[in-house]
Structure 1
Amino acid sequence: MDRIIVSNSSQSSHNTYLLNTNKVLRNTYLLLALTLTCSALTATASTILKLPAPNFLVMLFGFYGLMFLTHYLANRPAGIIAVFALTGFMGYTLGPILSSFIADGAGNLIMLALSGTAAVFFCCSFYVLTTRKDMSFLGGMMIAGFVVILVAIIANIFLKIPALSLVISSLFVLFSTGAILLETSNIIHGGEINYIRATVSLYASLYNIFISLLSILGLNRDN
């Protein structure tokens, strides 16, 4: 009898765990879809209105300030507003970049980068969700990759080598792909239980992949 009670209790706990995990995953994908739509709308508006590109300080403080605010409010209803403020701002920063591509007659590269970003996201998500593989082993490599990218960016500020820019963009694609795998794995294995933080992580990865692919395609076109 005791064994039956323990077995039923374990089964109930497992079912509760699965329900919570599926809820976080469902809410994350729903919020991600909404924030991507928000970014697309603000990017379109920024492109049509030909808004000026934000300078480096505005970009830096805007992104990290709103990122900090979002994480600070992640457990409160106001966190939803902070997420849309962050993604809307990032969409605005895309506007001038997209405008430059369109002005150069390279609108097809935008669609190509967008398609590539979507393909990376769906492939990574499909792989983790179907195999349910624990990708936590990527954590150490992600830290090492971040350091390499940071050093390369600092070096390129002074060297300004086009080939190094291409390498940096490629590293960003690889790094962000790993981040999608890791974050999705964290969600389904209970390592991330807050869908707002999970959404921001996935959004940032998608943004970096899109921008990096645009950079790679733009450099190749210039060459």
Structure 2
Amino acid sequence: MNVQDSQQTLQHSAVNEAEVSKLFRNTYALLAMTLAFSAIVAMASMALNLPRPNIIIMLVGFYGLLFAITKFRNSGLGLVLTFALTGFMGYTLGPILSYYLTLPNGGQLVSMALGMTAMVFFGLSAFAILTRKDFSFLSGFIMAGCIVLLCAMVASFFLQITGLSLAISAGFVLFSSAVILYQTSSIIHGGEDNYIMATVTLFVSIYNLFLSLLHLLGIFSSD
């Protein structure tokens, strides 16, 4: 390799690093804003004592907005739809938090779930960023986990078994943790170049992680 080739390689590497840094900044900035917006909507939902939407509304709202975001991910409308999705998820979170806060130690359970969620997210993100390890091998586990969890959730509608509910929540903790590692690694290694899609993936993982931990804490505290 001659000097010119070496210079081009270094320049290309510098450009890639700059692009990755920009993607990280945009992703985490948007993630912080959507988390704050979702929290505000959740508090409003709690204050207004809004009812929890049924499963049909939740599925249509979530997957409809997710499909629209995917379609318009490279436009300004994608940003608007991202806030619409995270706001909708905040609305669905409000009634759940209202229920837990009525329990004798509900405030402690919510605080613990929030703290544990933050620790898991930042810990896994830091690990992926600092080690620069490629976690693309988790794609198969994530796909299989998604199918298994969906089947288990369908079964839970017909089989009211506490153990099954516990297993689903534990599964979502592992699944969400794997997605956080995979998505962060994907940004680093060029597998993801759209900050809107990266933000949505991380947001949904944080949402599921928080709810799963809250559910587990509620079960283990006998509430």
Aligned partners of 1:80 and 1:143: how far apart in 2? 26
Partner of 1:97: 96
Q: Does 1:26 align with 2:37?
A: no
Give the alignment of 1:168-179 within 5 angstroms.
168-179=168-179
Q: Deviations over 1:53-104 (max 9, x none)?
A: 1111111111111111111111001111111111011001111001111122
Partner of 1:153: 153
Q: Which amino acid aligns with 2:80?
A: I
- 1:156 Cα offset (Å): 2.1
- 1:210 Cα offset (Å): 0.6
Partner of 1:182: 182
Partner of 2:139: 139
Q: Which amino acid aligns with 1:133?
A: K
Partner of 1:60: 59
Partner of 1:129: 129
Partner of 1:213: 213
Higher mean Cα deviation, 79-88 or 101-110?
101-110
- 1:220 Cα offset (Å): 2.2
Q: Which amino acid aligns with 1:213?
A: L
Q: Does 1:163 align with 2:167?
A: no
Percent of counterpart pairs with the same letter? Answer: 50
The SS at the match of 2:2 is helix
Aligned partners of 1:77 and 1:89: how far apart in 2? 19
Partner of 1:71: 70
The number of residue pairs the alignment matches comes to: 222
Aligned partners of 2:88 and 2:32: how far apart in 1? 16
Q: Does 1:46 align with 2:41?
A: no
The SS at the match of 2:200 is helix
Aligned partners of 1:144 and 1:119: how far apart in 2? 26
Partner of 2:196: 196
Higher mean Cα deviation, 44-53 or 139-148?
139-148
Q: Which amino acid aligns with 2:72?
A: L
Higher mean Cα deviation, 65-74 or 167-176?
65-74
Aligned partners of 1:146 and 1:61: how far apart in 2? 18
The SS at the match of 2:193 is coil
The SS at the match of 1:222 is coil
Higher mean Cα deviation, 43-52 or 171-180?
43-52
Higher mean Cα deviation, 175-184 or 153-162?
153-162
Let me know the Cα RMSD of the aligned residues.
1.2
Partner of 1:11: 10
Aligned partners of 2:141 and 2:165: how far apart in 1? 21
